[in-house]
């Protein structure tokens, strides 16, 4: 099962191109911090701004740097099923452990369309797939009934749950089949979801104060929720600040200030954090 703290890696840029030196530094840093896996090419990695050659280069560099020390799930999503399936087929030859695929955005398919979409992607690979449900970004909600039907497909093994509804998330945790992983993508819900049986989280905020996220995951797995709560309270001020402006701009600012990446640069339409937020983040890092 997919468990623990997964880092949806940012894609470092410098002077308009991918900064692979900083990417390697990040990977080594997070391996040392004890994370459970990596998700390159997610939305936190600004994948819509990358061309196919850059996408392949990020996967190659991530695989080479990780060197089988941790599992890697690669982001592969979109709103044209044939294109997503072809992208998955193209990346099948990389030594990765599977894919995370977001619900189609903008065109608002029916539940039947969603079911056929993910079934086609699953048919394009023998590798495991986790579905990413984030309706407030995509405009469509994958219902638990549809998700549980998809879970019957052998290589659809989990979900990154960002439904935005605690009722839907708790219902999913109560009904999910044995061996099916539920990881939250809602950073502010990490502790709550662990307490209710989630296997972990794919968390942009885990770029910062990573060891605290890892401690919470380990303590929850050991059923020591009181100690996990003490750790979580250390993060309750940090997490909201990292999402005051568009992700991953605040995270990249913090990583740059910490010397983990050489530039806070994002690609348009994302720019950089405001001066006001930058000042708050600098104070936060000083406290950490």
Active-site annotation, residues: 132, 160
CA–CA separation, 283 and 47 (whole Å):
30
Q: Are 16 and 33 in contact (CB under 8 A)?
A: no
Q: Do you know the residue count of the chain?
A: 288
Closest residue by Cα to residue 12 from 64, 58, 74: 58
Any residues with CB less than 8 A from the CB of 193 and at least 6 apart, and which? 161, 169, 173, 182, 184, 186, 201
Closest residue by Cα to residue 179 from 156, 162, 203: 156
Q: Are 177 and 170 in contact (CB under 8 A)?
A: no
């Amino acid at each position: 099962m997919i468990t623990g703290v997964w880092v949806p890696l940012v894609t470092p840029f410098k002077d308009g191109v991918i900064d692979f030196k900083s990417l390697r530094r990040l990977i080594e840093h997070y391996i040392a911090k004890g994370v459970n896996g990596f998700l390159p090419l997610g939305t936190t990695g600004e994948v819509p701004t990358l061309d196919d050659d850059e996408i392949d280069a990020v996967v190659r560099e991530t695989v080479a740097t990780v060197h089988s020390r941790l599992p890697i799930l690669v982001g592969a999503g979109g709103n044209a099923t044939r294109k997503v399936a072809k992208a998955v087929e193209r990346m099948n030859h990389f030594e990765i452990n599977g894919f995370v695929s977001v619900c189609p955005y903008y065109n608002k398919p029916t539940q039947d369309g969603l079911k056929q979409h993910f079934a086609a992607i699953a048919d394009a690979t023998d590798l495991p797939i986790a579905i990413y449900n984030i309706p407030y970004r995509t405009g469509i909600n994958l219902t638990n009934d549809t998700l549980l039907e998809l879970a019957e497909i052998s290589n659809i093994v989990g979900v990154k749950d960002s439904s935005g509804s605690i009722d839907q998330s708790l219902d999913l945790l109560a009904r999910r089949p044995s061996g099916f992983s539920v990881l939250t993508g809602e950073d502010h819900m990490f502790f709550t979801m662990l307490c209710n049986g989630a296997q972990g989280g794919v968390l942009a905020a885990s770029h910062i104060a990573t060891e605290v996220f890892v401690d919470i995951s380990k303590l929850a797995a050991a059923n020591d929720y009181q100690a996990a709560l003490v750790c979580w309270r250390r993060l309750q001020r940090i997490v909201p600040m990292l999402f005051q402006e568009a992700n991953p701009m605040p995270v990249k600012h913090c990583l740059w200030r910490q010397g983990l990446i050489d530039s806070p640069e994002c690609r348009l339409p994302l720019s950089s954090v405001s001066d006001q937020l930058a000042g708050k983040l600098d104070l936060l890092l000083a406290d950490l």
